[in-house]
Amino acid sequence: MKTIQHLFDNNKQWAEKISQEDPNFFQNLSEQQSPKYLWIGCSDSRVPANALLNMDPGEVFVHRNIANQVIHTDLNCLSVIQYAVDVLKVEHIIVCGHYGCGGIGAALDDKSYGLIDNWLRHIEDVYRFNKDKMDKITDPKERINLLCELNVIEQVANISNTMTLVNAWKRGQDITVHGLVYNLQDGILKDLEVSSNDRKHYFTKSIG
Ligand SMILES: [Zn+2]
């Protein structure tokens, strides 16, 4: 059996380094978390939320899945959003995709990947909603990158239509949803400028 002793060694070094810089860091953090941000990003190992935001543990509440999707029936993601909004009272929800996303690429090709094909079906829906824009582009990489952006915009709309956000905004909670894309080539985040702090931006039908 292969061991992961090197991970325990890494962990010890990391904890010692932080404790040297701030002896009370872990004690303070263990007593409460009060992040201002919920990050919904891709599971891709190259897009770690805290690292690229230059934030310490405790500063960002994180949910990640393949191709950073917010599916209306995904209780995992919906529970994270509800807890972040209702209990932690985050001020910002960030959906972050990344250019060259393998999940987006897989949704665009004709291959079968097994169970995950069902998950990627939602990306194919985003393609269908934006078929005119997508079909104007022929370069495969550009098509993936455009769909990465369109997918983020769709997820911002999905979040804005969750009961959690609808109710939060109805009671006057100040919370803004943002759509970003991360560039693996230079480490820079791009704001897609689709921020929403009111459901009217992504209104689909009246609730309540
Ligand atoms: Zn990805």
Residue-range domain boundaries for the chain: 32-199
Which CATH number applies to 32-199? Answer: 3.40.1050.10
pLDDT at 203: 55
Name the catalytic one among 9, 22, 46, 191: 46
117 is catalytic: no
Distance between Cα 25 and ligand 1 center (Å): 32
32 vs 207: which has the higher pLDDT: 32
pLDDT at 94: 98
pLDDT at 192 over 90: yes
33 vs 45: which has the higher pLDDT: 45
The average pLDDT across 77-99 equals: 98
Distance between Cα 149 and ligand 1 center (Å): 12
46 is catalytic: yes
128 is catalytic: no
pLDDT at 32: 83
pLDDT at 121 over 90: yes
Name the catalytic one among 42, 77, 96, 148: 42
42 is catalytic: yes
Distance between Cα 1 and ligand 1 center (Å): 30
Distance between Cα 33 and ligand 1 center (Å): 27
Instruction: Assign 33 a pLDDT band (cuts: 50, 70, 90).
Output: confident
Distance between Cα 120 and ligand 1 center (Å): 11
pLDDT at 70: 98
pLDDT at 208: 41
Phi and psi, residue 86, nearest 5°: -80, -35
pLDDT at 130 over 90: yes
Name the catalytic one among 77, 92, 96, 101: 101
pLDDT at 200 over 80: no
| Phi-psi category of residue 92: left, alpha or beta, with phi > 0 → left and psi -120 to 50 → alpha | beta
Instruction: Assign 207 a pLDDT band (cuts: 50, 70, 90).
Output: very low
pLDDT at 151 over 60: yes
Distance between Cα 65 and ligand 1 center (Å): 8
d(CA 86, CA 192): 26
The average pLDDT across 15-26 equals: 95
pLDDT at 41 over 60: yes
pLDDT at 96 over 90: yes
Across 5-102, the runs of DSSP E, i.e. the strands, are: 37-42, 60-65, 92-98
Distance between Cα 172 and ligand 1 center (Å): 34
Average pLDDT, whole number, for the chain?
94
Our CA dihedral for 106, 73, 63, 9, rounded to 10 degrees, sits at -80
Name the catalytic one among 92, 98, 122, 178: 98
Model-level pTM?
0.93
Beta bridge partners of 41: 64, 96
